[in-house]
Amino acid sequence: MKIIIAKNKEEFDRIAADMVSQQLKDKPDSVLGLATGSTPIGLYAQLVERYKKGEIDFSKVKTFNLDEYKGLPKTHPQSYYFFMFKHLFSKVNIDPENIHIPNGEVEDSAKECEEYEKNIKEAGGIDLQILGIGHNGHIGFNEPGTPFESTTSLIDLDQRTIEANSRFFDSINEVPRQAISMGIKTIMQARKIVLMISGKDKAEIAAKAIKGPVTTQVPASVLQLHPFATVLLDQEAASLL
Ligand code: F6R
């Protein structure tokens, strides 16, 4: 695992954007795995800026998002579909055909998950996967206890995840209880991975994921086994390393 500690938020976003930009320059038809949540918002803002300056091009890029809430319509402001269009897809020249986000609205989630895995394979696999981490160590929505062999599936959200994500909803009762998420195996098959961790409240889980035992109780610890995983932290998140 390569560890990078950024001096401040600006550098944190810039380093992540440098990694994605380099990937697109090396391979213009890259397949990117993308995350939502607070952590990558600055990265997406940087990518939009670079696109506007003509430094990067998304015309051949394919994307696969990590997850989506079960049951939220695409038009719901807290759906990950809505998030991705707001922060990135509506602002760059990506072909809508090349955007993949699990569909949380379909009834047959098992079929949706199977097709998602198939689509990733048909695209040639993920070149660069961006990840955030939950306070319980989840990556995607793979909560503690998820087997490392898991592929894309319908997940019951952990109480801690429901609580953490309730900050985006009017009340905790509105937070969906399930989500479709890429599996841990799916994530580990990406050629390169960047795990972004920011903030004091993530310091404890960052230390466990990076230095602790590799265990399904801390899903992100599996990244210690990946040959090309980088963990990018700000100084607060790195304070217990
Ligand atoms: C989001 C995702 C989650 C988040 C994690 C951290 O697509 O897969 O694993 O990355 O919950 O969320 P933030 O960045 O909001 O702290």
Nearest-CA neighbor of 234 among 36, 44, 43? 43
Distance 122 CA to ligand 1 centre (A): 26
Beta strand ranges found along 92-209 (DSSP E): 99-100, 128-131, 153-156, 178-181, 192-197
Q: What is the pLDDT of residue 147?
A: 98
Residues with CB under 6 A from ligand 1: 35-39, 66-67, 132-134, 138-141
Residue 54 backbone zone (phi > 0: left; psi -120 to 50: alpha; other: beta): left
Whose C-alpha lies nearest to ligand 1, atom 12?
A: 37
Active site residue 138: yes
| Ligand 1 atom closest to residue 80's alpha carbon, by position in its atom list | 7
Per-residue confidence (pLDDT) for residue 89, from 0 to 100: 98
Range 158-174 average pLDDT: 91
Nearest CA to ligand 1 atom 3: 140
**Residue whose pair of structure tokens reads 């944190």 in the numeric block:** 12
26 is catalytic: no
Residues 196-221 have a mean pLDDT of 98
DSSP H stretches of helix in 5-108: 9-26, 41-52, 80-87
pLDDT of res. 125 = 98
> How many whole angstroms separate alpha carbon 209 and alpha carbon 41?
22
Tell whether the model's pLDDT for residue 196 goes beyond 90: yes
Q: Is the dihedral of CA 216, 179, 104, 77 positive or negative?
A: negative
Residue 114 annotated to the active site: no
Asked whether the CA dihedral 7, 219, 224, 204 is positive or negative, the reply is positive
Q: Is 136 designated active site?
A: yes
CA distances from 139 to 127, 170, 172, 182, 233 (A): 17, 25, 21, 9, 15
Nearest CA to ligand 1 atom 11: 134
User: What type of residue sits at position 72?
Assistant: L
Q: Which atom of ligand 1 is nearest to the CA of 131?
A: 10
Ligand 1, residues 65, 133, 223: which to mutate, most atoms within 8 A of Cβ?
133
Q: What is the mean pLDDT of residues 94-105?
A: 97
Distances (CA, A) of 89 to 45, 102, 119, 166: 11, 15, 19, 25
Band (pLDDT 50/70/90 cuts) for residue 159 is very high
> 195: CA distance to ligand 1 center in Å?
10
- Positions of E strands within the chain: 2-6, 31-34, 62-65, 67-69, 99-100, 128-131, 153-156, 178-181, 192-197, 229-234
Return the pLDDT at 158.
87
Active-site residue among 138, 165, 226, 234?
138
Percent pLDDT > 70 in the chain is 100
On average, the pLDDT of the chain sits at 97
Check residue 182 and give its pLDDT: 98
For the segment 195-199, the average pLDDT, to the nearest whole number, is 98
Catalytic residue among 65, 136, 142, 165: 136
Residue 106: left (phi > 0), alpha (psi -120 to 50), or beta?
beta
Q: What is the mean pLDDT of residues 58-86?
A: 97
User: Which position among 127, 143, 158, 234 bears the catalytic label?
Assistant: 143
Q: Assign 204 a pLDDT band (cuts: 50, 70, 90).
A: very high
Instruction: Give the C-alpha separation, 222 to 4, whole Å.
Output: 18
78 vs 24: CA distance, rounded Å? 28
- For residue 130, what pLDDT is reported? 98
Task: Determine the distance separating the centroid of ligand 1 and the alpha carbon of 111, expressed in angstroms.
Answer: 24
Token pair belonging to 50: 């670079």
pLDDT of 82 > 90? The answer is: yes
Residue 160 has pLDDT above 90, yes or no: no
Give the confidence band of 91 by pLDDT, cuts at 50, 70, 90: very high
Only one residue has tokens 């394979």, namely 121
